Each structure stands twice: as structure tokens, then as C-alpha cells.
Structure 1
């Protein structure tokens, strides 16, 4: 398989860059590098996800497949009453996320190298966000949905972004087989924001 961002140890050479972005009203400076997702700028789908998601002001939130982590850091900076766990299988992404947390003086985060939620499955989450690793294949994406359902507290919410042409209908069908309520809450430029709620009962 051709190397892509869902790779534990990218072999492509480094090309560190610094970008500036504002998400959820939070100004961030972020180091990026080759071998991680959307290294030149925050991609449209990620931006749509983080701006659309309705999140509790406090509690435990996970960003799965965090990359250099515009999502988790914006969410953490917005409210210091949140504890945000940022996980990625890509060790280069994990190092960047830690570096970016320090750069932006954000302390209410935990960054872990993890195959999806495996390294943090002992924690019950109030919300989980993910721009799923579509290139890793449907089996991996569906496992993310399954692990998210198990990791969420009763009443917890999974927020994902997926393109219609990259399997949005099958993703929704899988989510509906797991979650008690699944809604498409936003769609723009072929991207869908899906909200999946675990029953509070």
C-alpha cells in the first residue's frame, strides 16, 4: 500500500512549516510536516467539523486521528473545563500535536499514539470528534465507529465529517446499526457532518 497519513512511522522526509488559523474563535499557531494529513492548511472538511460540532463546555472529549491537531487544540482552548484527548497512529502527528499544545500554551490536553481509541479506551467520553482516515479503508473507519460507541458515556455524541463520494451513505448506515440516533446536521461542498448519539438509558 502506498504510504499515507494513516501510517505509524512515515518515511517521507521532514519539511516543517508553521501555519496560523482561527477555529471556534480561537487563534492557533500550528507546526505541520510532510507525512501528516493536510499539512499546508486546515482542510475544508476538518474546518466544517470543528465549527459545526456542538460540544459540552466541560467533560472529556476525544479527537481521533488528530494529526497536528487543529480540532483538539481549538476545542481545548475554547474551554479549560474540558479535558481533551488527542490520539493518532502516526507518531509524527503525535509529536506535532504535543509541540503545538506547548506552542499555544494549552494544558488541558493529553496526546497519545494510538490505533484509533485503543490507548484511551479506559476513559468514558462525553463527545468524540473525527475526520475519519478514509484512505485506511472501510474496515478501519467502521472499527472507529464501533470503538467510539463503546467509549462514549450514555448520552455521549460522536461527530464525524465524511464526503458523499467517499462513502457517506455506507457510513451513515453503519452508524445507524450502532447508535440510537444519527442525524446529518450540515452539508457543504460535498461534505457531510454526521452526529451520532448514544442512548442515555
Structure 2
């Protein structure tokens, strides 16, 4: 047992032999605690190599409205963290592999394990510093005699601008800026403010969400991959949830419809997380809270994973959503509108002509009525232990033909690098069996034309758009 005296108070921490600092909180850790800023409310940070938890527990006590991951590989130390943080509910003790790979942090604090060797240390820091959101900061305390200055130089050269924030009793506190921008001395994290991050979330927002979902939540970090929507991992005790913020007055009603549709899909056996809550935060923002599902995204499908995905698509026809948004109508309206007269960039004009030649004009109405995801791509599919764990991001759903979603899936399977001709063939055959040849060609033409028209207006996207459009068109040759 050791006493930690900080912030004008003292509290006891349980230690054990074989855990760093067992005889007392070391001077390096005290240097960090005295000079590094506290986390901002409604953010998530990580204490890397937490030991028995002096940094994590102090950060959690200083800022109860922030989530603190205490990451440690030593099982005995993890048990000590849980004991020492028993009255600090915003601290989560975890092995590195227990932290979701998609999670990103506003701040990183560490008295890093220098003795593991330079190469291992560099690999460890690159991994975890790479998980800071833009504008986030790392705070590393290192003994000068054990290479603090050379570590600072290496971080600078590696793309993580680093400066010395404090120097006490032979230790250096290094302030490391997340790669990609901001001023080291004036950035928000340098003054204890949140990083610019994927989006704004205020304590008042959390209070509103907690009131609407039966209890308070703690932000545990940002979830990478939400596109333009801010996405957060929240915690309440052992419960984990995904919070997505939607901008625009239209979304409040759409999320209400989504909650009903998700319930119906889940009743039919569809693999998607439950909706835990939804509502307005203000006139322009709404929130959706869903259960958290562990899994990973894939770059490609093999025959086994494809079977699971097509099994999910087969359930789309089991649900008849509200007609407020109809993806089939959107496709035919697009093709029968002015797209044939659009002035495409010369680099993609031949591809646009190939797509237009796939359909007769006017394009007849497509089948509709069942559930259509609208963005049924690999980035919205989670897999675990070889199976489909979850289909995500259903809130933009509408009604329509499942062929729309199968064509969305083709954008990944036709990739020249990660694609599989056999998988592509099976998706095409299944799409035709569900909607007919004309519906499939119309949906594919829509996808190609939407891609190359957008790239025409954003020329920096032309090369990638042409590659994807050509691969889709080649799938039907």
C-alpha cells in the first residue's frame, strides 16, 4: 500500500511485488501528474502501461466526466487497477487486445516501459500515438538518463512533433502532438481542452442522452470509420454502447423510424445491434444510441463470409419499412433525370457512356417495398470468428429492391487488389435472381454514373473513381 499525495489530498493505492513502483509512486509519474493537463469532459483518454493505476486513477478523479482506459499487460497489475479504481467508475482496466481496434483517443498519458528496448518501445508508441484523434496529444514522462532527448528527436522525425513541457528531478515530460496538424504550444490539448476530433460532444449532451436512456454514460473514445458523423464508444459499468450524432432537423423523425425497423429486423433474425435510445439534442442535432458489437471489418469476402452476407440480404424482404424514403425511386429518378446530358470529365466520359448503354430510357420503375440499407458496403459489416457479427449504420435506410444493396457490395468485391471473381459472380447471380436483369443493370448504371459525376465535380477523385467504375462495368461484360 502506498499513499499518493496530489491535488491537495492523499489517497491510498494497493501495490504488489513485481509491479512497477511497488514501494512508492515514482518521481517520473509524479512529474507527469503535476504538469500534464487533466482530460476535458466528455472525452476518452488512455494510460499506457498503467501499472497499478496511479496515473489512471488520478486522471479519473480529476475529471469524472472523461473515460480513462488503464492499459496494462501484467495480470496482477490489472487486478490492482480494478481494486484501486473501485470508487472511480470512469476508469476501465484492460489488456491491449481488449481495447476495440477502432477506438481513437483525445489524449494519451504514459510513463512508458523504457526497459523493453528501443525497437519494442518505438513500435508500442507508434501503435498507440497513431490512435490519437487529430488535435490530440500524448504526454510521456521519461528519465533524461534513459534517453528522453533522443526519444523526443525520434518522435519529431517520425511525424509526431514533440516538445518538452516540463523538466523535474532528471525527468522530461514530453508533449507529443498527434500527426497531422495543430500548433504544439497553442493546440487545444496543450491547455487541457479537447482535440478537434471527429466531432463535438458536450457534457450537456451526455446528460440529455443519459436522461433518455436510463442512466449516465461515460465517453470511452471515438470510433473510427463513422464517415462524416461523429461516433463515440460510451460506457456504463460493464455495458458498452455506440453513440452517433446526426446533423439536420430531418434526422429526428428518421431515427424514430429506424428504431422501429431495427426492432422488426432483429425479430426476423437480422444481425444488427439493438437501439438503446434516440432523440434530439437541439434543433439541428439528433442522437442514436445502439448496442456495441465486437468484430472487425474485412477488405474482401471469401465464400464462407459471402454466404453469411447473402443470408442477411435475404432477410431484407421480411420487413416493409415506411415509404418516406424509397431508394428504388431515387435510382430511377436519377437515371431518368438529366444525367444523360451531364458534362462528364473526359477521363471518365467513356465509362459514363458504357453505363448509360446498359439501360433503356426511360428506365422503368424498380421493384420496391422491402428494406434497403442504402450503404451496404464492407465498411458497414462486422465479422467475428468467421461469421457476420453485425450490419451497422442502418439509420439511412429506406424501402427498395435488395439489388441496390447487392450492387453496393460489388464495389468491394470487384476491387482489382482485394476482389474475388468468384464472389463477384455469385453476387451478380443473386442480384439478378432477386430483381431481374433490368433492375440489376439499372442499379449498377446508377452506381457508376453517380461515382463518375461526383468525381467530375471533384477532380482529385477522378483516378480512384475511374478505377472503381471500370471494375463494376467489367463485372457485367
Q: Which has the higher strand share?
A: 1
The residue that corresponds to 1:174 in the other structure is 154
Q: Which has the higher helix share?
A: 2
Map 1:91-102 → 2, pairs under 5 A:
91-102=75-86
Instruction: Give 1:141's match in structure 2, choosing from 96, 110, 121.
Output: 121
Instruction: Give 2:93's match in structure 1, choosing from 95, 99, 111.
Output: 111
TM normalised by structure 1 equals 0.83
Map 1:184-199 → 2, pairs under 5 A:
184-198=164-178, 199=180
RMSD (CA atoms): 1.6
Q: Measure the CA separation in 2 of the matches of 1:96 and 1:187.
A: 29
The residue that corresponds to 2:24 in the other structure is 41
RCO comparison, higher one (Cα < 8 Å, 6+):
1
Q: Measure the CA separation in 2 of the matches of 1:151 and 1:73.
A: 21
Aligned-pair CA distance for 1:109? 1.1
The residue that corresponds to 1:53 in the other structure is 36
Q: Measure the CA separation in 1 of the matches of 2:18 and 2:93.
A: 18
Q: Measure the CA separation in 2 of the matches of 1:26 and 1:74.
A: 11
Q: Measure the CA separation in 2 of the matches of 1:55 and 1:173.
A: 25
**Are 2:9 and 1:32 equivalent residues in the alignment?**
no
Q: Measure the CA separation in 1 of the matches of 2:91 and 2:158.
A: 28
TM normalised by structure 2 equals 0.36
Q: Cα deviation per residue 1:22-53 (whole Å; 9 max; x = unaligned)?
A: 22445321100001001011000000011111
Checking the alignment, whether the CA contact within 8 Å between 1:149 and 1:178 is kept in structure 2 is no
Tell me, which stretches of 5 or more residues in structure 2 are unaligned? 183-477
Query: In 2 relative to 1, CA 174–110 (structure 1 residues): closer, same or farther, beyond 3 Å?
Result: same
Map 1:61-72 → 2, pairs under 5 A:
61-72=45-56
Structure 1 ranges of 4+ moved more than 6 A: none
Helix, strand or coil: the match of 2:137? strand
Helix, strand or coil: the match of 1:32? coil
Mark the structure with the bigger radius of gyration. Answer: 2
Aligned-pair CA distance for 1:134? 1.0
Q: Measure the CA separation in 1 of the matches of 2:29 and 2:112.
A: 10
Q: Measure the CA separation in 2 of the matches of 1:179 and 1:128.
A: 16
Helix, strand or coil: the match of 2:64? coil
Q: Measure the CA separation in 2 of the matches of 1:74 and 1:173.
A: 29
Q: Measure the CA separation in 2 of the matches of 1:44 and 1:165.
A: 14
The residue that corresponds to 2:261 in the other structure is none
Tell me, which stretches of 5 or more residues in structure 1 are unaligned? 1-17
